[in-house]
Amino acid sequence: MVDLSLKIKGALLAVLVLSLELLTHGGFFCMFIPIFVITYLSFNYPVIANWFLSAYAVGTTVMYFISPNLFQAWVIPEFLALCFLCLAPYFLRERREKVKTGFETLNNDKKKEFEDFKIISEKLKKENSRIDNQLKEIGRLYDVIKDLGSTLNAQEMLDLIKSFTDRMFDLPHFVIAILSADNKKYDVRVTSGCDETFLRGAEIDTSGTQLFAVLAREKKPLLISPINQDSRFEKLRHLSIESFLFIPFVIQDRVIGFLCSYSNQKDFLDQEKFSNFQVFFNQIAIGLQKSLLYEIVQKLSITDGLTKLYSHRHFKERLEAELVLAGRYASPLSLLILDIDHFKRYNDTYGHVAGDHVLMQVANILKEQADVTHLVARYGGEEMVLIAPETTKEKAVELAERIRTKIADYVFAAGNETTNVTVSVGVATFPMDAETSTDLIGRADQALYAGKNRGRNQVVSYPF
């Protein structure tokens, strides 16, 4: 319907122009009117232009037969010009479409390049961010190694490791266990976010069937999330634990300790952090090994090789320090000196091997009866001492009597025979008996020999 309307408009417009030419008797100026009209129409209304041209051609032909004298010489060139102007937009439009298509294609290509560039840019940003984080991790690791190198004290180093682990990896719960000096167990030395009272000081047998011991023997870092992927963690499921981390500290194919962490969230540690964790603790393990060796050497330097009690030198140093504290806080401090009765005769009768066995067993009884605040040392030969801070003379005598009784009741093996030994114990207390370490030792020694003179196997306190 619209096309028909346009066609009629084109025909009517042609009739109008022809009528104008008839009225003006076909003047030269009239040739420009259809040219202007067709130019406008062909570019804006091509349907009207086509019908205008068709109607104009028919009208011109009819006019030629009706009035030949009106037919001018310019009519044919005009008609050719009109045809050209009517067809020109088709060619120009096609050209324009090609150019437009070309520009759209170019624009789409540029858009795609821009999108690709944005994707590459985002990847580069992420990669730069990852590299920056790695550099920060390396920087932190360097700081850790530098700080760890500032101490050879094992507990100080473990405290530093705990601090750095909390700061760098934000683990919700973790424990660190270290191999004991006898290589038979792992001692839990660090706890974070756990029940410290329950876990601190816990022991894990290296050859046992406990999960930690089994994982330590495997010597492999482990990150499980969720834990139902591994049947070994069946017992942990009722604890609402979803993720489990285990990092062994391996030095020359030997596990000197491990870190264990857990969380009630899945994927609480991604693979990148897990990798950083392994690098972190591989470096820490080296420093930790040095500190543990230093701890062993230091302990050996202050420990008697036979009885495993503290040495005479360490006893003297600790007694001085404890007396300073006792004086500062006005608290009593008692000293016990113990001597095995007739020990030379025992050695002569049963041999030095049996004598050494007696010394070791007496030392064990002393350690068993001592409190955690007490210090037990070998004073020399068959003499042993016990420092009891914050202990009155009455309490010290009770402790000494308990030790004497335990030793007297103990059955010692001497080859194929069983024997008994007794001890004499001297007790002196700061500050009522003496105010210096030398005097305190002297008073306790005097009490000891008073017991020897009274028949041995007894406890004597100063003054006697």
* Residues annotated as catalytic (active site), given as ranges: 382
Can you read off the two tokens belonging to residue 6? 């346009």
Q: Is 457 left (phi over 0), alpha (psi -120 to 50) or beta?
A: left
CA of residue 246 relative to chain centroid, distance: 12
Distance CA 145, CA 137 (A): 12
Calculate the alpha carbon distances from 201 to 268, 275, 370 in Å.
Answer: 27, 29, 18
DSSP state string for 184-237: SEEEEEEEESS-HHHHTT-EEETTS-SHHHHHHHHT--EEESSGGGSGGGGGGG
241: helix, strand or coil: coil
Closest CA to 10 of 62, 47, 61: 47
1: helix, strand or coil: coil
- 358: how many CB neighbours lie within 10 A of its CB? 22
